[in-house]
Amino acid sequence: MDVRIPSASDVANASGGNTLYVYIYIYIYIYIYIYIHTYIHTYIHTYIHTYIHTHTHIHTHTHIYIYIYIYIYMYIYACVYIYINMCVCVCIYTHTHTYTHTHTHTHTHIYIYIYICVCVYIFKYVCVCVCIYIYIYIYIYVCVCVCVRERERERERERERERERERERERERERERERERERERERERERERERERERDF
């Protein structure tokens, strides 16, 4: 069987419509598909970026890569989905045309349709797995960043408290030495007064 890439005119012929309508349908479908899915993923991306920025207090450009990835993924997915619909439409048209004009029944379209469905599901599951992997990676990255930063801040606070306690102990020792010197001066004055009384006697 001669396999070729279907064009918009093939789809128009298969559906009995106009080529312009097919192009309009394709672009509207791609736009709506990208818009809806991008809105959902943008919400997730915004939450992740806000969480990173709020909890780690560091600015990262990871959200830019996520946004670019979402647009590329959605555009490719929509284009492939549209192309597969076109292939199915052309296959049905080809089979109907052949069966009507030659009265020869063939099962080729069944195998093509099964192959297309398998490719669609494989592509969808691969994309889903990639998305899940990326989200898990980002989640782990966020958790690690938060944990590392939190432990670092806790260690810094502990070191600061330890330095403060050390300064407090040093001040206490200094006050103790000062009191000791004061007592020593007091004893010296007492001895001086004692000597004064002895001389008076």
| Backbone φ and ψ of 167, nearest 5° | -65, -40
Highest mean pLDDT (candidates 75-79, 189-193, 194-198)? 189-193
pLDDT digits (tens, 9 = 90+) for 35-91: 666 666 666 666 656 655 555 544 455 556 666 666 666 666 666 666 666 666 666
| Backbone φ and ψ of 151, nearest 5° | -65, -40
What pTM, to 2 d.p., does this model score? 0.34
pLDDT digits (tens, 9 = 90+) for 141-174: 777 777 787 888 888 899 999 999 999 999 999 9
Domain ranges for the chain, please list them: 8-141
d(CA 109, CA 90): 10
- Residues 69 and 106: beta-carbon distance below 8 Å: no
d(CA 93, CA 106): 13
Handedness of CA 123, 124, 127, 132 (dihedral sign): negative
Across the chain, how many H-helices and E-strands are there?
4, 0
pLDDT at 32: 67
Mean pLDDT (whole number) for 112-123: 67
pLDDT at 55: 52
d(CA 109, CA 116): 10
Closest CA to 99 of 111, 109, 88, 89: 109
